Amino acid sequence: MLGNNMLSGPIPISLGNMTSLINLDLINNKISGEIPSSFGNLLNLKRIYLQNNMLEGCFPSTMQKYCILSESDNLSTVGYNFRQNKDLIFEGDFGRWCAGEGRAKAEIISNSPLCEGSDLILNGSGGLIFSWSGPQGYNSVQQNPVISSVSSDQFGKYTLIVTNENKCTDTTFAIIQSIGIVSASGNGPVCEGVTIELKADGGLSYQWSGPNGFSSTLQNPVLLNAKPEMEGTYTVEIKTNDCTILKNVKIEFVKTADISSNSPVCEGDTILLNVSGGISVSWTGPNSFSSDIKSPVIPVSTLKSDGKYVAVIKNADNCTFSLNIDVVITKREIPDFRDFSGLCDNAQQVDLPGLIDTYTGTWQGTGVSGISQNQVFSPVGLKGLQNLEFVPVSDGRCVGPLKTDIFVSFLNISATEQSPSIDAGDSNGVILIQPEGNTSELTIKYDGPVVGTLKDISTAPAEIKNLSSGDYLITATDIYGCIDTATVTIQYLRPFYFIPNVVSPESDSENSRFYLKGSNIFSYDLSVYDRWGNPVFDDKNMMINDRNSAWIPTINDKGVFVYVLKLETIEGIKVAYGSITVI
């Protein structure tokens, strides 16, 4: 006795396990939900009191067995055991339900029997909600579903459950049958090189079609010397008295191995191919590739490596078969970057970008320092073209390193006196400029007694001509703005000298001897002859202005003598001669 206890919630399904239960009193509670179908398992139930609760829905069909109980059993059709449940069918009037009122009545109409390949039409009635189920896991909630191009495995039993407005359900089924029975089969899987056998039955005529342009009107055609291109689905059109039916036969080749690769591959990366299984293999592929090892490696891929790779495999049963795999080569992108301009070897360091054309990366090369986004290039100590490389961070994209150059211009000049000024006007001195490093298109300025500029000097060494004697500052500038300077002095080396015409042996002064005074004479040779041509003095490599290097006549050497001078000057050897009087 559980009546009048404010019980709530649904009636548990497990209540149906209490098969010895005779009396059930749940009157005047708040029991909700539908009456479970397990109520029909209460074989000994005689009395039940469920009035004045919150039950809903319909009486389950399993309760029809209670409709025949007598009134004395308190469950007869005139009983009131379920009244005052306003959401239960007929507010709990069990008698009306037993009389057949309000129940669902499921019915199916179909176009069975039908030809295989035709559309199966199912029509349901007897309720508001429909739930269909059938072969091959078929399900539908439409009232009148259609199954297009029904196949042989879709014939069979279709079940319909309907639910009406009272939430009463009913179930029925229909057996869907085909008109005539046809079949098609093949002997796959097969080895390459053997015979493919196709079979069909149940028709009056047959039309086969299949891979590699195959066609036949034979009932059971055969294909000799099976090749990989013969693998696939073969279709036969079978005509009977009533139907035209299409059947598919899938012919597969024996493949006791697997094929794999590391595709997709970035251009320039290694292609790895692999066959697992078989006792021998022969590979062919794009770009004239071939190999007889199971796991060949193509160390450097190109765009020509893209395409289908085929492995012809032989297994332990001496069965040959082919497997193929597509290898995709993705073009490797190179970041777009404007090259660096030239730098002087004494310039300040340059910041290197850490992000180029949406790619982050790091720089490598001589002169590069720093990490991550703070890398710099320093030209100090470097000369000429420097090779830098930007290596993008791997982020799944195919991107290659960016190679670029930066020219470090080094300019060193030396300036020497090529020729002193020796003309009478002191205007023919020459400076020789010897540049080292970037010597093309130099601009050379000179500042001194003469000022000027030489432009676009493209050959080395270079000469500055027509210069007066004095100190000069030479400034050289290259096309990158790099500057170097040098200083040089132009001498004035025009030779001049004084020759005495009289000497006096009795004098105590420098007039007692014959020697040269002057400048710009490296040395001289002196020969002296008497008036009869007899030599009286001869000396060589005498130094100008040296009174100790001279002809010193005696008091007996009076008279007129002839001298011959050979002068070594910047202009070469000069010869002078004349007479000298000794008094």
**Do 441 and 456 share a domain, yes or no?**
yes
**Do 37 and 118 share a domain, yes or no?**
no
Segment 533-563, tens digit of pLDDT: 899 999 999 999 998 889 999 888 889 999 9
Domain endpoint, select from 147, 176, 205? 176
Segment 414-436, tens digit of pLDDT: 999 999 998 888 999 999 999 88
For residue 1, the model assigns a pLDDT of 65
**Do 403 and 415 share a domain, yes or no?**
no
For residue 197, the model assigns a pLDDT of 96
Domain endpoint, select from 98, 119, 149? 98
Q: Where residue 459 falls among pLDDT bands split at 50, 70, 90?
A: low
Distance CA 418, CA 433 (A): 9
Is 383 a domain residue? yes
Segment 56-107, tens digit of pLDDT: 999 998 888 888 765 555 555 455 588 889 999 988 888 888 888 899 999 9
**Do 17 and 69 share a domain, yes or no?**
yes
Distance CA 567, CA 519 (A): 11
CA–CA distances in Å: residue 560 to residues 112, 170, 512, 565, 582: 162, 167, 15, 16, 6
For residue 49, the model assigns a pLDDT of 85
Is 337 a domain residue? no
- Residue 29 belongs to domain with CATH number: 3.80.10.10
Is 336 a domain residue? no
Domain endpoint, select from 269, 303, 330? 330
For residue 264, the model assigns a pLDDT of 94
Distance CA 105, CA 163 (A): 9
Is 1 a domain residue? no
Segment 492-537, tens digit of pLDDT: 888 888 999 999 988 878 889 999 998 888 899 999 999 898 999 9
**Do 58 and 12 share a domain, yes or no?**
yes
**Do 240 and 305 share a domain, yes or no?**
no
Low-confidence winner among 415-424, 454-463, 565-574 (lowest mean pLDDT): 454-463
E strands, 141-279, in order: 146-147, 156-163, 169-176, 183-186, 196-201, 205-210, 214-216, 222-223, 232-239, 244-251, 258-261, 265-266, 271-276
Largest CA distance in the chain: 195
What does the chain come to in residues?
583
Please say if the pLDDT value at position 283 is more than 60: yes
Is 303 a domain residue? yes
Query: How many other C-beta atoms are found inside a 10 Å radius of the C-beta of residue 506?
Result: 10
Please say if the pLDDT value at position 284 is more than 60: yes
Give the pairing of strands 402-409 and 384-392: antiparallel
Distance CA 516, CA 143 (A): 142
**Do 401 and 418 share a domain, yes or no?**
no
**Do 400 and 429 share a domain, yes or no?**
no
Is 211 a domain residue? yes
For residue 160, the model assigns a pLDDT of 97
Q: Where residue 144 falls among pLDDT bands split at 50, 70, 90?
A: very high
User: What does the pLDDT average to over 484-490?
Assistant: 93
- Residue 505 belongs to domain with CATH number: 2.60.40
Distance CA 149, CA 244 (A): 12
**Do 351 and 319 share a domain, yes or no?**
no
Q: Which residues of 464-500 are buried (b: 16+ CB within 10 A; e: fewer)?
A: beebbbbebebebbbebebebebebebebbbbebeeb
- Residue 234 belongs to domain with CATH number: 2.60.40.10
**Do 46 and 89 share a domain, yes or no?**
yes
Is 338 a domain residue? no
Q: Indicate the pTM of the whole model.
A: 0.47
Q: Are 155 and 114 spatial neighbours (Cβ–Cβ below 8 Å)?
A: no
Rounded-to-5 percentages of helix, strand, coil across the chain? 10, 50, 45
Please say if the pLDDT value at position 140 is more than 90: yes
Domain limits at 41? Answer: 8-98
Segment 179-225, tens digit of pLDDT: 988 999 999 889 888 999 999 999 999 999 999 999 999 999 999 99
Distance CA 259, CA 197 (A): 27
Nearest to 279 by CA among 227, 308, 319: 319
Please say if the pLDDT value at position 383 is more than 90: no
Q: Which long-range contacts (CB under 8 A, 24 or more apart) does 17-26 make?
A: 17/41, 18/42, 19/43, 19/44, 20/44, 21/45, 22/46, 22/47, 23/47, 23/48, 24/48, 24/49, 24/50, 25/1, 25/49, 26/2, 26/50, 26/53
Query: What does pLDDT average to over the chain?
Result: 90
Is 63 a domain residue? yes
φ, ψ for residue 127 (rounded to 5)? -175, -170
In the chain, the number of structural domains is 7
Q: Where residue 341 falls among pLDDT bands split at 50, 70, 90?
A: confident
Please say if the pLDDT value at position 450 is more than 90: yes
**Do 355 and 368 share a domain, yes or no?**
yes
**Do 55 and 90 share a domain, yes or no?**
yes
